[in-house]
Chains A and B, each alone.
Chain A
Amino acid sequence: MATTSSKLVQQLDAVNEYEREPIPPGKRKGLGSFIGMYAGEHTAGTEFVIGPLFVAHGVSAPDLVWGLLIGNLLAVLSWALICAPIAVRTRVTLYFQLEKICGSTLVKGYNLVNGVMFCFLAGSMIAVSATAVGIPFDIAMPGLGDLYPNSLGWVLTVLAVGAVVTLIAIRGYEQVSRFANLAAPWMPLVFIASALAVLPELGVHSWRDFWPQAEAEIWTGVVQEGQSKFTFWHVMFFAWFANMAMHIGLADMSVLRYARKWQYGFSSATGMYVGHFIAWLASGILYAVWLQKFGNAEFAPGKIAYYAAGLAGAACVVIAGWTTANPTIYRAGLAFQALNPRWKTWKVTLVTGLVTTLAACFPALVMKLLDFVALYGLLLMPMGAVIVMDLYVLPRLGMQDEYARRTQSRFNVAAAVTWLGTLLVCLLLNFTQGIEIFFLGLPGWFIAALLYVGISKWQQRNLRAPAV
């Protein structure tokens, strides 16, 4: 047993994810890896939550369809034209690039916030999976208004799911990629088939029936009690910024640095239009049927999918949760590991998985998912603007890029003021002007870009000979 354990530890220690060096040419991956990864990652357990939440927020059918089409297009362009070119140019993780710009001390603060947010996100995915795993045990599921654990059975189910997800995540990117690839072609079909199968219960018996019934029975525009009203603009900005931390915030540099070409950033379209379009529509349809049959006492994606698709539907909820929780825990692990590069990746991921699993016990992560996703993108976005300005704008204005590396600084004041200043302005816009969190990302990016360039100009006024 001891021999087996130490052998396992040796294998895990050998997992080298190139945290502090560019990806060598031999390790770069083809387009297929990214198509599978994006399709799998964005057809996730949380899609079973977001679609129903749009229904609960009273989105009308035309607002939903147009909002998703345009918002997802903007998200794909953000990956392809901002994140992927930078990832392929630098070939390093977001964290290592930030360290060169911001200095090790500031980056530690950023990594801590980043890692915690990833933990919460992965936690919501684990919670969604748990709503399916708990079905055979007839566990009481949380409702839309529940923020805290409501039964011991719920907590035990979440702990069991979290343990399995963590064990898979500590095996590294290769294992995650294989798992996502295997499930990727099957999952969207389950979403589509589940929704199709319940359409007759909404009065849809032919394609001509769909749109009138969609407006009358599914996305009716009627807001559920305790929820705010969503318009086209809410849907469009939510679809665009749902993964803001990944594309504009550049967290996906960690993944896209493996891409042979920057054009692979367009592969994110598989995730957006399969996961964030078809799957959100499908899960909304499922929830509309569930509401008509059983009301809104429980909000349990696992039960909803089980009603429509039986065991395959419940399995889809579990697997969809896993395929997204895995890379998210992996990313969180990278963020925490950057605090101390001597820590082993697998040990950091193990601790990250434990924290994530504990967070998943709280249903608030699921019920307030739309707000949380928007907040998570907003918190991390300013550093994406800092990197873009540092790579493309500062050198053209005669300033030095990678300020911290060149000056041996551990704390770049320009980046710190940019990050905190942007969030402060966004907070003021929210409190004083009443601008909802979903709409703050766009002005926030420009505020961050201007702040960083302006403060860098001041900071570098006495910097002369360019160091290399």
Chain B
Amino acid sequence: MALSATGLLLTLIPSILVVTGHLDLATHQSWMLGGTLLWFISAPFWMNKKTG
């Protein structure tokens, strides 16, 4: 679950850094992709576990 949460944070936080001028758009996109991959790889291990 911690990995999945990290994935979600990596999806969102970089965009805030773009607004504040600490990150450029291309770097934000790379972090966002990393966060997305982390979420979709890790989340199935605990989501829907009860029904799965």
Contacts and interface: CB of A to CB of B under 8 A. Distances in A.
Contacts of B39: 185-186
A206 B21 CA distance: 10
B29 interface: yes
A185 B33 contact: no
A186 B47 CA distance: 13
A310 B32 contact: yes
Interface string A196-211: 1111100011100000
A66 B21 CA distance: 30
A196 B21 CA distance: 12
Interface string B11-51: 11011101111000110111011011001100110011001
Contacts of B33: 310-312
Nearest to A209: B19
A185 B8 contact: yes
Contacts of A196: 15-16, 18-19
Contact of A194 (B15, B43, B47): B15
B8 to A, nearest CB: 6
A193 B36 contact: no
A312 B19 contact: no
A192 B19 contact: no
| Chain A interface, DSSP helix/strand/loop, else mixed | helix
Most chain A Cβ neighbours within 10 Å, of B8, B16, B32: B32
Interface in A162-182: 174, 178, 181-182
A200 B19 contact: yes
Most chain B Cβ neighbours within 10 Å, of A186, A199, A206, A315: A186
Interface in A289-331: 308-313, 315
Given A199-B19, A200-B18, A205-B19, A190 B48 contact: no
A189 interface: yes
A190 B29 CA distance: 11
Given A194-B15, A312-B32, 18 more contacts: A178-B48, A178-B52, A182-B48, A185-B8, A186-B8, A190-B11, A192-B12, A193-B14, A193-B32, A196-B18, A200-B18, A206-B19, A308-B25, A309-B29, A311-B33, A312-B11, A312-B29, A312-B35
Interface of B: 7-8, 11-12, 14-16, 18-21, 25-26, 28-30, 32-33, 35-36, 39-40, 43-44, 47-48, 51-52
15 contacts: A178-B47, A178-B51, A186-B39, A190-B32, A190-B36, A192-B12, A193-B28, A199-B18, A199-B19, A309-B28, A310-B30, A311-B36, A312-B11, A312-B32, A313-B29
Nearest 6 pairs between A and B by C-beta? A310-B29, A193-B15, A196-B15, A197-B15, A312-B32, A312-B36
